[in-house]
Chain A
């Protein structure tokens, strides 16, 4: 009996055939779709919103009301061309297509770094060109370590660092929510851990000092601000100090990339998310000798890129996390 899950032609001995690659890439290019309602953030993985058979928004979807929405995409790695995904531009386009298919255009997009693979001008140019097709008001960036190769981030700053401080950190307010973009890839610690550095930490302390404790906070940076797997550099050495400045706030959401998979954690008032990549998956923490682009049998890729939704409910000045399915109309 024919099993369509078997790989019939495996020319590169990498466990991926063309049909399997295309099938699974329908699941790649995912991002995070976030809605703010009364200072509470709800997030949905875009794979949940898309019918994988037709590549369009699921029929009958009706999103709850929100004050505003925004999307997060991450780790586009434009310039990467290995078997784990030889078409990173195509999967970025798929992610943008999903954003553009949303019933409500996001007010803005956060790109949490590794825009490029080798920090080359032509890679940044391609990223910029593709992002222009996103239907949104504005795109905010923070760099990944791939964006600052060789020049400690000079080119990144020239392109994306207007109106930012230091190595490119900044904050802005939108509809009563305070957004903070941090840079933890220019300074690095032993083992590849991210570092914020004293200058940025001092700035952060001052930045939030005047805010009311009821102000919802969204922090975004490339390398996770919680210790996911320090052996692979999946954490930030001085993140605890940064988070200590945010403890007094009732609602803090931290959005990261870098690890190319969705993980979530709640610690007190702070909820952490990591986003999938639009380019290629990486192994689960500790599940391989090292982090890096992962070549897997096609059917595993779907599982690795799957995401779940989180609903943040403010209750008695605390946050609860529950899985919330999207509302299906006519059901």
Chain B
């Protein structure tokens, strides 16, 4: 009888812990102005898109699309001040549409390495496709 009481207490504590964990919301990212990319995107997925699709795909650095903070050279990632950022959004939408419409990809996501068409398909390391140095 004492043994079953002990197990009962352990089970109850376990349930409390599990319920407690489930009740804690997943930590939200701090990104404030995502319009095409998922709002709950992880920092890892977002960073990989920025590096693989934009930095390597277009041969640019962060400041190509992101404006600087006022009175500083640090980047204000949420700012829409630079027109290149809105163009990047349009390009991402176009890329998703092309994959969905012409390559029958269901729910295409930027950063998915299995996509038929990605930024680098046309850009080939250049900010504007077809540019030659």
Inter-chain contact B77/A150, CB cutoff 8 Å: yes
Inter-chain contact A188/B133, CB cutoff 8 Å: no
A290 at the binding interface (Cβ < 8 Å): yes
- Size of the B side of the interface (Cβ < 8 Å), in residues, is 26
Q: Which interface residue of A82, A232, A233, A292 has the most chain B CB atoms within 10 A?
A: A292
Give Cα A189–Cα B124 distance, bound, in whole angstroms.
Answer: 23
Inter-chain contact B43/A150, CB cutoff 8 Å: yes
| Chain A residues within 8 Å of B125, by CB | 288-290, 292
Q: Interface stretch among B2-10, B44-52, B85-93, B94-102?
A: B44-52
From residue 60 to 117 of chain A, which have CB atoms closer than 8 A to chain B?
82, 117
Interface residues on A, range: 20 to 34
**What 1/0 mask marks residues of chain A from 241 to 257 whose CB sits below 8 Å from any chain B CB?**
00000000000000000
**What 1/0 mask marks residues of chain A from 267 to 296 whose CB sits below 8 Å from any chain B CB?**
000000000000000000010111111000
Q: Which interface residue of B47, B52, B64 has the most chain A CB atoms within 10 A?
A: B47
Smallest distance from the beta carbon of A188 to chain B beta carbons, Å? 5
Give the residue of B44, B58, B62, B63 whose beta carbon is less than 8 angstroms from that of A118.
B44
A152 at the binding interface (Cβ < 8 Å): yes
Give Cα A117–Cα B50 distance, bound, in whole angstroms.
Answer: 11
**What 1/0 mask marks residues of chain B from 110 to 129 whose CB sits below 8 Å from any chain A CB?**
00000000000000111000
| Chain B residues within 8 Å of A291, by CB | 59
Instruction: Output the nearest chain A residue to B126 by Cβ-Cβ distance.
Output: A289
Inter-chain contact B55/A118, CB cutoff 8 Å: no
| Chain B residues within 8 Å of A188, by CB | 61-63, 73, 75
| Chain A residues within 8 Å of B55, by CB | 292
Q: A189-B63, A286-B133, A289-B59 are in contact. Are A152 and B74 (CB under 8 A)?
A: yes
Inter-chain contact A187/B59, CB cutoff 8 Å: no
Q: A152-B74, A286-B133 are in contact. Are A120 and B47 (CB under 8 A)?
A: yes
| Chain B residues within 8 Å of A231, by CB | 133
Inter-chain contact A186/B74, CB cutoff 8 Å: yes
Instruction: Output the nearest chain B residue to A197 by Cβ-Cβ distance.
Output: B73
Smallest distance from the beta carbon of B53 to chain A beta carbons, Å? 12
From residue 29 to 81 of chain B, which have CB atoms closer than 8 A to chain A?
43-44, 46-48, 50-52, 55-56, 58-64, 72-75, 77
| Chain B residues within 8 Å of A293, by CB | 56
Smallest distance from the beta carbon of A167 to chain B beta carbons, Å? 9
| Chain A residues within 8 Å of B47, by CB | 118-120, 149-150
| Chain A residues within 8 Å of B59, by CB | 232, 289-292
Inter-chain contact B73/A187, CB cutoff 8 Å: yes
Q: Which interface residue of A149, A289, A290, A291 has the most chain B CB atoms within 10 A?
A: A290
Chain A positions near chain B (C-beta within 8 angstroms): 82, 117-120, 145-146, 149-150, 152, 186-192, 195, 197, 231-233, 286, 288-293
User: Can you give 20 contacting A-B residue pairs, CB < 8 Å?
Assistant: A82-B52, A118-B43, A118-B47, A120-B43, A120-B44, A120-B47, A145-B61, A149-B50, A150-B46, A152-B75, A187-B72, A188-B75, A189-B63, A189-B73, A197-B73, A289-B124, A289-B126, A290-B126, A291-B59, A292-B59
